[in-house]
Amino acid sequence: MKTFVIGDIHGGFKALKQCLKKSKLDYKVDKLIVLGDVADGWPDIPECFEELFKIKHLVYIRGNHDQWLKDFLKYGKQPDVWTLQGGMATREAYLFRRPELMKPHLEFLKKTKFYYKDDKNRVFVHGGIDLDKPIEENTKRYLCWDRALWDERHRSDVKRKSIQQYKEIYVGHTSIYKLSHFPANYGNIWFMDTGGGWEGVLSIMNIDTKEFWQSDIVSELYPEIRGRN
């Protein structure tokens, strides 16, 4: 079994398919850890989920956009802060194209994790971790939303001395494509959101070898779609 991690997909089904094909991920054997935010942005959110469900060993970390999607599917909530950040594409995808998938996708999201720690003490989280607390004591909101790990001072500190609590940390959420077109490594932290929801690319990595593969620029895969801009 190989273990892969993938950054924020944001409805880019075409980019997801490219990454899975290029990495040669075996749907029946390999493990894929999704760092959250399949929802909101490009139009193919339901199709992304359906493709991921084909992977036998799937670990899904809930992101802040997934939380908004869950609230929409369960309660019908449509706050402006959501619709203006890609939520309109998600809303239209489910209501007008794939309404039959609303209930099963809600049931899936209810079971998703806010972090994952494997047997090698590697941690996977969407937003961030309060390192002053055990990860089990972090709030769901902090794990989904925080960006302190990307703070410039924090990254400089980590580059000098890796975080001691964990072997490695893998993070999504903060799009780094304006600074780096590739997964960014600081000490033992890997930042995987290379802008697949914006004008960047989607990235997938083998976490043991650190080899990674990327999609085409996602906005070019959807030339007639505005996306989150």
Q: What are 106-160's pLDDT values in tens digits?
A: 999 999 999 999 999 999 999 999 988 899 999 999 999 999 888 866 777 776 6
Does pLDDT of 229 surpass 60?
Answer: no
> Which of 91, 96, 62, 94 has the alpha carbon at shortest distance from 77?
91
> Which of 201, 206, 133 has the alpha carbon at shortest distance from 168?
206
CATH H-level, domain 3-221: superfamily: Metallo-dependent phosphatases (3.60.21.10)
**Residue 183, token pair as written in the block:** 């997964």
pLDDT the model gives residue 149: 87
Give per-residue pLDDT as tens, 57-107: 999 999 999 999 999 999 999 999 888 888 899 999 999 999 999 999 999
51/74 Cα distance (integer angstroms): 22
pTM for the complete prediction? 0.93
